[in-house]
Structure 1
Amino acid sequence: MPSTKDQYFSFLFLLLTSTPILTSAALCDKADKSALIAIKSELNNPPGLSSWTSNTSCCTWKGIDCNTTTGRVTYLDIFAQNISAPIPPSIAKLTALQSLNAPYNQFYGPIPPFLGLLPQLTFLRLDGNLLTGSIPPTLTILNLLLAGNRLIGPLPPSFAKANFATVILYDNQLTGDASFLFGRDKNLNALYLQNNKFSFNLTNVEIPEVLDILVIDHNEIYGSLPAEVAARKWLQFDVSYNQLCGPIPQGRYTTHFGAKRFGHNKCLCGPPLAPCK
């Protein structure tokens, strides 16, 4: 059965990639087609891209959607193709690309900064690969999914002013401060930071008004839980295995999620954990 996270990813992906598919060969953009042929070569011609041939419209190829008016490629899907290669540099030529979905491969090496410079890209999913190094400061993309890689270091300062809706970075080796992702007026509605080494004071962060998924367990986050967390209708919530302290703000969420989502902290107390002394 798919996990809750996988169901969320599937919903998010369908919501953000509902662009019409172009079937007319006459409208296939020539420059984009050349870029895709180059991408296929840079990926060592994997079997999953066998439909990418020069004698057919690029807009009919597997994993490709195009704008119905311009013929420009807007969507590139390389999902679980067992590809072992760096991120193809020719993706930089797809300047109308809106969604890049390439999880569950074996992409290795650093994340190229050019991905964040694609002018229309709003959805970047590279989770479940072997990517290393730090996150480029250019990756201020609306929906950023980089979980399950080997990324290290702190988040770029540029993320403080980014307009994120979804940030999914769990299962990496990221460190330092992530408090600047928060902010009452920000549009962030889903934040997954679990299983990293983030360390920051949660006490005075302002929870975004639209945030309904907060999963930050298994880090080194300290301070106390902000009072406003008690009033939210959380879809997912987990602050376990951190260094948090003090009384748990009481609300329906404490009963709904139970002790498991609050446990193994330094000195959190109150229902659903032990009473405060």
Structure 2
Amino acid sequence: MATAVLRLFLLLILLTCAISELCNPQDKKVLLQIKKDLNNPYLLASWNPDTDCCTWYTVDCDPKTHRIISLTIFSSVPETNFSAQIPPSVGLLPYLETLEFHKLPKLTGPLQPTIAKLTNLKFLRISNTNLSGSVPSFLAQLTNLTFLDLSFNNLTGSIPGSLSQLPNLNALHLDRNHLTGSIPSSFGSFKSNPDIYLSHNNLTGPIPPTLGNLNLTTIDLSRNKLEGDASSIFGPNKTVQIVDLSRNQLSFDLSEVEFPASLTSLDLNHNKVYGKLPEGLTALNLQYLNVSYNRLCGQIPVGGDLQSFDIYSYFHNKCLCGSPLPKCT
């Protein structure tokens, strides 16, 4: 009798363990391969093969299907044993919606082509790493992407125009890399009007007039080598709020620009912008303004928030005058 009870007890334990293991076995196998390929870093210490992978740190499972839907590997301190490339095996998690490698300075190599298999991916962030190579055109195949962040890396080459084929993209971060070439004119055909961050690169040429087709909220093209006219970004019917075009070689007549009522931040410093400050700026609820180091002239319009900014927002122009600069003569 005692033996039968013991056997029943052991069977219940085994059944409980089996039921508690929610993680899909194939997903678990892939995760363990990823851990191995990343040289078993300390921040993945919770990835114990004897436990349910849905309980592992940096991993999330769908509450119904229990398939892996999120993999977010990041570190607040440098990982001494995290010296590896992005494992090709990440492409073997077919239900993945979020993939993030962040603040991993010893993560090297190019973006793996297997990422193109993750057709359910909505959020992709690989930033603050030592990622190199080009921005791959295969990213355009991830049509469910709403957020793409490849900032703070060592990416080179040109920006693929095919990214504009992403129909649901809300934000594109390619800033702080070593990208060259021009901004693709196809970016004017984005259907979702994403926020665009391309700052701190080596982009050249003009800002495509096609960007005037978009109704952006934020655009940051600062610290490049862009030339020519930027007025297409603005317009009375636009909804743009934050525009940073500073430290380029842009040259256009600011007095002819019509600004949207939505604009709250405008940075044009260190360009070749000429003309006068438009009276329309006084009607805006500006929280930040910097037009220093340009070729502007005339009196700063009186009214609105324009006198609330200090001289550093206006100085080093050709003949700009009026409060907060010295009086016009």
| TM norm structure 2 | 0.66
CA separation in 1, counterparts of 2:292 and 2:159?
Answer: 30
Q: 1:115 aligns with which of 163, 177, 187?
A: 163
Residue 260 of structure 1, CA deviation: 0.7
Distance verdict in 2 for CA 1:94–1:250, change over 3 Å: same
Q: Which sections of structure 2, spanning at least 5 residues, go unmatched?
A: 1-58, 70-82, 102-118
Residue 90 of structure 1, CA deviation: 2.4
Distance verdict in 2 for CA 1:178–1:55, change over 3 Å: closer
Are 1:248 and 2:285 matched, yes or no? Answer: no
Distance verdict in 2 for CA 1:175–1:53, change over 3 Å: closer
CA separation in 2, counterparts of 1:89 and 1:161?
Answer: 23
**SS in structure 2 at match of 1:237:** strand
Are 1:105 and 2:153 matched, yes or no? Answer: yes
The equivalent residue for 1:134 is 182
Contact 2:221/2:245 (CA < 8 Å) preserved in 1? yes
Are 1:232 and 2:284 matched, yes or no? Answer: yes
Q: 1:214 aligns with which of 266, 291, 302?
A: 266
**SS in structure 2 at match of 1:79:** strand
**SS in structure 2 at match of 1:59:** coil
Residue 58 of structure 1, CA deviation: 5.2
The equivalent residue for 2:222 is 170
Structure of greater Rg = 2
The equivalent residue for 2:126 is 78
Are 1:154 and 2:206 matched, yes or no? Answer: yes
**SS in structure 2 at match of 1:63:** strand
Contact 1:143/1:167 (CA < 8 Å) preserved in 2? yes
CA separation in 2, counterparts of 1:113 and 1:51?
Answer: 25
**One-letter amino acid matched to 1:163:** N
Alignment: residue pair count:
237
Are 1:260 and 2:312 matched, yes or no? Answer: yes
**One-letter amino acid matched to 1:23:** C
Contact 2:178/2:201 (CA < 8 Å) preserved in 1? yes
* Deviating 4+ runs (over 3 angstroms): 25-29, 46-58
CA separation in 2, counterparts of 1:54 and 1:220?
Answer: 47
Residue 133 of structure 1, CA deviation: 0.2
| TM norm structure 1 | 0.78
CA separation in 2, counterparts of 1:57 and 1:247?
Answer: 60
Task: Output one character per residue of 1:167-187: Cα deviation in whole Å (capped at 9) or x when no partner.
Answer: 100000000000111101101
Q: 2:143 aligns with which of 85, 89, 95?
A: 95
Residue 27 of structure 1, CA deviation: 5.8
* Relative contact order, higher structure (CA 8 A, sep 6+): 1
Which deviates further from its counterpart, 247-256 or 221-230?
Answer: 247-256
Contact 1:100/1:124 (CA < 8 Å) preserved in 2? yes
CA separation in 1, counterparts of 2:234 and 2:98?
Answer: 40
Are 1:23 and 2:56 matched, yes or no? Answer: no
**SS in structure 1 at match of 2:61:** coil
Q: Which sections of structure 1, spanning at least 5 residues, go unmatched?
A: 1-20, 30-45, 65-70
- Identical amino acids, percent of aligned pairs: 36
Contact 1:51/1:61 (CA < 8 Å) preserved in 2? no
